[in-house]
Amino acid sequence: MRFHALSVAAVLALALVVPAPAVAAGQPAGPAFSVSVAAAPQPAAAQTLPRHRYEALRKTSLRSSPSKGTIVAVVARGKELSSTGRTSGKYVQLSRAGKTGWAASTDIRRAIVAKYQTSSAIPLYASACSTRQLAKVPADYTLGTRTNARSNGRVKVEYAGKSGWIRSSRVAKVSLGVPIGKLGWKASAAKNIAKWCKGVPLSVGANKPNMAEASGRIGHMNELITLDTSGFGGKKLDPNHPMAVAVQYHECAHILQYRTYKYDFAKLDRRMDAVYGKPRVADGAEHMADCMAVAMGAKLTGSEYDPGSGNTLTWWAGYGGKCSSHHLAAARKVIAGQQV
Ligand SMILES: [Zn+2]
């Protein structure tokens, strides 16, 4: 068994007060015109519409005929139904579990037909072309759409009880089984390292040590990444904060080191020390995990204005020391599974 612990430090820069930068909310304007298509005249009697999935807004009875008739089935709130395509006035013919009957359109609404996930905070626009923003959808948020309507590079979605439009290029489609709402800390971290460490189990929690471990025997190694969710001043760390991401990448880098050196930890240490050279401010394996994190896209330090305190917060992740071009070239090889 082997652990690599990573320390992170956050330091408040005293007496350095930087005003918050003004953020321009500039959004490219939509097209100067929009086209509407007139609906075809509707027949007065029962009509046939595309079949859609619906959900019951409340406990709903399906009846043998529109508005009256005997009750064929009772559907609990939230349960899904399929339309047969027939409607009559404000009644819709639906089926569920082999039973078919009519329900008032006010008792149902279209079901979620697709889900999308944000990776950063994005605006929810009032329409397909409008620059007016109804809300800001947070990062790592899973949204549903009841229509999957698309226009002008945007898709219509539901967020916090509002219907609005988001840019399709800013979201990834996810399976219908993903729950609507914000991803948990662990799911966000797993998403951040999925490119390199997909499937490695994560254990996360406040004040847990940041570490990567591998135990077992060759061919049956159990890998585990443990991550600390604690942030500055006792607050929970945003799993997408660059410092959190740097730690996630660093621990994932250890897993890649273990794999590249086939869990021969003595050889790994020897080779990483040799690549690092002298003088060293940390173990070669630690420094190289930092440089691998940089090669993956991590930032090891940053500053940010804290509107709460009026101070600028400076943070560092990792063990210090510089990643030379030689270190970074070696880091990229180890990430690719090549021993150096
Ligand atoms: Zn480490």
Q: Rounded mean pLDDT of 283-312?
A: 93
Q: CATH number for the 53-110 domain, one of 3.40.50.920, 3.30.360.10, 3.30.1360.20, 2.30.30.40? A: 2.30.30.40
Phi then psi dihedrals of residue 259, to 5 deg = -65, -45
- Predicted local distance difference test score (pLDDT) of residue 275: 98
57 C-alpha to center of ligand 1: Å? 51
CA-based torsion, 145, 147, 148, 150: positive or negative: negative
Question: What pLDDT, on a 0 to 100 scale, did the predictor assign at position 135?
Answer: 97
* 310 or 268, higher pLDDT: 268
Q: What percent of the chain has pLDDT over 90?
A: 70
Q: Kindly report, residue by residue over 271-289, the tens digit of the pLDDT.
A: 999 999 999 999 999 999 9
Per-residue pLDDT at 46: 62
CA 154/CA 331 separation, integer angstroms: 39
Q: What is the pLDDT of residue 120?
A: 87
Say what the alpha-carbon torsion angle 81, 82, 84, 87 is, to the nearest 10 degrees. 60
DSSP-derived pairing of the beta strands 202-205 and 220-228: parallel
DSSP 130-168: ---EEEEEPTTEEEEESS--EETTEEEEEETTEEEEEEG
Q: What phi and psi values does residue 242 have, to the nearest 5 degrees?
A: -55, -30
Cis status of the peptide bond prior to 279, with omega within 30 of 0 = yes
CA 85 to ligand 1 center in whole angstroms: 59
The pLDDT of residue 45 is 54
Ligand 1 center–CA 182 separation, angstroms? 29
| Ligand 1 centroid, distance to 197 Cα (angstroms) | 15
Cα of 299 vs centre of ligand 1, distance in Å, is 15
Rounded distance from Cα 281 to ligand 1 centre (Å): 13
Ligand 1 centre distance from Cα of residue 283 (Å): 9
Residues 303 and 11: their CA atoms lie apart, in Å, by 10
| Ligand 1 centre distance from Cα of residue 304 (Å) | 25
Identical topology for domains 53-110 and 114-179? yes
Q: How many angstroms does the Cα of residue 231 sit away from the middle of ligand 1?
A: 18
| Residue (of 235, 332, 331) closest to 287 by Cα position | 331
Q: Could you tell me the two tokens for 263?
A: 């869990």
Cα separation, 137 vs 143, in Å, equals 9
Do strands 141-145 and 114-118 pair parallel, antiparallel, or not at all (unpaired)? Answer: antiparallel
Expressed in angstroms and rounded, the spacing between residue 246 Cα and the centre of ligand 1 is 11
Q: How far is the CA of 205 from the centre of ligand 1 (A)?
A: 18
Distance in Å, CA 251 to ligand 1 centroid: 6
Q: What mean pLDDT is predicted for residues 250-269?
A: 97
The radius of gyration of the chain's CA atoms, rounded to the nearest angstrom, is 27
Q: Which of the four pLDDT bands, split at 50, 70 and 90, describes residue 304?
A: confident
Task: Measure 285 CA to ligand 1 centroid, in angstroms.
Answer: 7
Read off φ and ψ for residue 286, nearest 5 degrees. Answer: -70, -45
Interval between CA 229 and ligand 1 midpoint (Å): 16
- 340: nearest Cα among 246, 254, 273, 242: 273
Residue extents of the structural domains in the chain: 3-19+184-335, 53-110, 114-179
Is the pLDDT score of 200 beyond 90?
Answer: yes
Residues in the chain: 340
Residue 146 has pLDDT above 80, yes or no: yes
Instruction: List, as one string, the DSSP characters of 79-134.
Output: -EEEEEEEEETTEEEEEETTEEEEEEGGGEEEPP-EEEEESS-EEEESSSS---EE
Ligand 1 centroid from CA 252, angstroms:
9
CA 5 to centroid of ligand 1, rounded, Å? 5
Helix (H, G, I), strand (E, B) or coil at 114: strand
Token pair recorded at residue 8: 């992170």
Residue 290 C-alpha to ligand 1 middle, in angstroms? Answer: 8
| Ligand 1 geometric centre to CA of 311 (Å) | 30
Question: How far, in Å, is the centroid of ligand 1 from the Cα of 319?
Answer: 8
State yes or no: pLDDT of 183 exceeds 80. Answer: yes
- Span from the CA of 250 to the centroid of ligand 1 (angstroms): 6
Contacts of residue 34, Cβ cutoff 8 Å, sequence gap at least 6? 128, 129
pLDDT at 311: 87
More confident residue, 241 or 28: 241
282 contacts: CB under 8 Å, gap ≥ 6: 290, 319, 320, 321
Query: How does pLDDT run across 208-235, given as a tens digit for each residue?
Result: 999 999 999 888 999 999 999 998 777 8
Which whole number is the average pLDDT over 256-260?
Answer: 98
Model confidence at 313, pLDDT cuts 50, 70, 90, reads confident
What's the 139 CA to ligand 1 centre distance in angstroms?
Answer: 27
pLDDT digit string (tens) for 53-89?
899 999 999 999 998 889 999 999 989 999 998 999 8
SS3 47: strand
CATH node for 114-179: 2.30.30.40
User: Cα of 220 to ligand 1 centre, how many Å?
Assistant: 22
What integer is the mean pLDDT of 100-114? 92
Whole-angstrom distance, CA of residue 297 vs CA of residue 246: 8
**Partners of 174 in the β-ladder:** 115
* Distance from C-alpha of 3 to C-alpha of 289, rounded to nearest angstrom: 13
**How far is Cα 326 from Cα 99, in angstroms, rounded to an integer?**
69
Distance 183 CA to ligand 1 centre (A): 26
To which residue do tokens 């898709």 refer?
155
pLDDT at 25 over 60: no
Confidence bin at 28 (pLDDT 50/70/90): very low
Pair 208, 226: CB distance under 8 Å: yes
Q: What is the structure's pLDDT at 14?
A: 30
Å from CA of 204 to ligand 1 middle: 16
Please name the residue that has the structure tokens 């929970």.
236
Residue 16 pLDDT: 27
CA of 77 to the centre of ligand 1 (A): 50
The tokens of 275 are what?
């690549």
| pLDDT the model gives residue 271 | 98
Looking at residue 39, its pLDDT comes to 43
Of the listed ranges 24-33, 138-147, 240-249, the least confidently predicted one is 24-33
Q: Find the distance separating the first CA and the last CA of the chain, reported in whole Å.
A: 23
